[in-house]
Chains A and B, each alone.
Chain A
Amino acid sequence: MMENAWIIPLFPLLSFLFLILFGKRLKEASAFIGILLTLASLVYSLLVLFERLTAPTYKAEGVWLTIGDVQLTAGFEVNQLNALMLVIVSLVSFLVHTYSKGYMNGDDRFPVFYAYLGLFTFAMLGLVISPNLLQTYFFWELVGLGSFLLIGFYFYKEEAKAAAKKAFIMTRIGDVGLLIGMILLFWQVGSFEYDEIFAAAEAGSISAAMITLTAILIFVGAIGKSGQFPLHTWLPDAMEGPTPVSALIHAATMVAAGVYLVAALFPLFTASETALMTVAVIGAFTAIFAASIGLVQKDIKRVLAYSTVSQLGYMMLALGSAGYVAGVFHLMTHAFFKALLFLAAGSVIHAVHTQNIEHMGGLWKKLRLTGPLFLIGTLAISGVPLFSGFFSKDEILIAAWAHGNTVLFWLAVIAAFFTAFYMFRLFFMVFAGEARSDMKNVHESPSVMTMPMVVLGVLAVVAGYVNTPWFGTFLGDWLVEGNHSLGHGHIEGPAWIMAVATIVSLLGIFLAWLMYGKRSLSRDWLTSRAPLTYNLLYNKYYIDEFYQLTVVNGAKFFSAFLRFLEVFLIEGIVNGAAGIASSLGKLGSKFQNGQIQTYGTAAFVGLAILVVIYAVTGGYLK
């Protein structure tokens, strides 16, 4: 099976090509093509994963491009991480394909939507089986394209247009970092292959400063893609896309690409303590930073978006604390429960046609299936024991503690408290309380939408049990098997960490219940006590405004300055040269006044002068 793993990304590509060509004629039937082909990918990915559980890593490559003596290769590799990612991506993609059949029903551009989903899935699957950095970059950019197209799916909305543009440009800023890092690394190692890079890093043939520099540059790429501070602003805006897209891209797959990249290049990062520290600090800061913004947002998808940013920060913190397994584990559990949350949010939006949570309430009784599923997701993300998020978050905290990042550890704990609070704030505001009068005919979504949610709900509960301190760390042991540079499968940590994590998340839930469930605490507590803080949080620390003021206006100003140069200096020089030529001509034409006698006089005077010269000098040719 593994020898033919290259075929996995080709199914969605086929779906894309087929639907873009014939989608117009197929109309609603397009969904079946997309669903079937992603199902094929999923089945194949599962088979590959099962085979990889026992078989060794498989890698195949061919020459893609020759530059002088250097041969750049393309191919695929199935190692533990890749096999796992294949399943996560194709599973979430399949479920989203299915869900979209109900959610996008009736849209004019239904086939186009499925075509874009196919393109995106293709890119993401291609990304996770890349054996070298160049190919990773190749698909990395295609993932960006897929995301751009899907965010801008409602192209006639100005907000969607702006969000799509922003997503593409912000991630491209990160991509340039990746590109530079990759090229610098290439000239050090002489190859883009992961294996050779790791070998060179281990053998010490690259200077320490160079490793740090390239690792950080590559991490810049991950910052862009995974919405880490300071390139995070595109991710919440990307919620302009259809909700299934948010589930697929901005929860489970694309934003995970940054984490995947750091994980795939983990041996390079571990070779430089500075690079690891950078990753950990950025991750921890993003985790708490985004969580604090999430506390006060009013749009259901935006709250989830900030929680995604925050959770991705967690994963980065884990990787930066040398917790390879913890990062990848959280990547997996997060993919499931965040996809679930987004799909459930989509189901809510589908039912009530608004995204503002202040206009919702009392939906628990109306959405009998969505409600409990949303609750499962919320419990999982909050880190309540026995749910998947609990185990992976615990691993991360242990990794941070074990690596000696005490400050970052406590930041992460506070972020966990925030997460539990804002997620349950969201839950209570949407599902608890009085039903609003204008939401009389709210009804549950069709089963084509609820079934994928049920699958994810089950996974959100059980996915954690593949790697627990109680029943064994299968996932961790398998992930690091045969590769000592990835660290240990399980890091032992003090038992109180688990207790602290549990208490903190329960505290968060309790506080949210007091404020939004039982209402014994005023909702406006923060608004009235600290309006400045509230405004700062609600406006996302004014980061967007700051960028607008500095970067965007800076670029505009610089462009205007160059245009000024162009118009006045360059055109000026050109026009000046032309002007000098024509004014010389004008001056010359003054002498041509049409008076033949003047000409004759001039000729005679000239002759006379020549004769005088001749007489004085005695001739030119002596």
Chain B
Amino acid sequence: MAESTLRSGSAVVLTPGLWTRLNNNRNWLGFWFMLPAAAILVLFLTYPLGLGVWLSLTDASIGNPGKFIGILNFYEKECYGPDDCEIYGLFGDHVFWQSVWQTIFYTTFASVVKFAVGLYLALLLNNHLPFKALLRAVILLPFIVPTVLSALAFWWIYDAQFSIISWSLTKLGLIDQYIDFLGDPWNARWSLIFANIWRGVPFVAITLLAGLQTVPPSLYEAATLDGANRWQMFRHVTFPMLTPIIAVVMTFSVLFTFTDFQLIWAITRGGPANATHLMATLSYQRAILGGNMGEGAAISTAMIPFLLAAIMVSWFGLQRRKWQQGETDD
């Protein structure tokens, strides 16, 4: 074929078919390679999220898709008389506001302690200790145990009549009456925060430990030559090198804590008198147990700004990477 073409003296440029061109087009191929991931994201993330937001704008209940009611699930004013008006919707719902501040308090306190204890444990485990591998495995145990199981264990530990803590303290003569761990609002909050910290510390510790092991020993050698003490080494070498992983691990930790459900539900169900309701448990109670899907979805939707804020912190934390690599932050 080529020979005959040459003989005839005419040149024919072979133009590839559409299929071949598409196969060689980076953008076209990229689109197809991305599609499975995008489909999964749309199906399992965007759709439920979108449905949740839509439900929050409806009066849907169990078995009834409901109709669009705008922001009435968030704010509605209703008057029963000239001076007898009530604000309804989440805005006027003090149980909702109570759950908001409880969620923020629970998340903030538990996350700060988890970070402090996790970092301390990570630094400890990064040293040359006897039985290091075993210790690392033991540290992970609380994270491995299913949440409901650990919640049930804590439920017994905090029991008003059968608490091992109260029993031990009584036997030691330190108290003469059992501690009301879950019956008193503040005791219940602290008890749940402790259980959450116990469960969450291993995740922080092990992840930070992994981060610590990526810090080049040469940096410490250089710091030692410069006469830096242990605190200065931590402050100016370890901590800056860990910043990106701290941003990631704390973002996840905050997200997990903010959306905690199992621990609360298994131990207190939001009681006593709503003193331990988090936004997630309140949403479940209103939507599934109470049948008010729209209202429950509104509470879930109200969590989104908080979660977005946590993600933003991670985003800006990750940006610092460039700065660490000698570039400027942009």
Say if A and B assemble together. Answer: no
A interface vs B, CB < 8 Å?
none
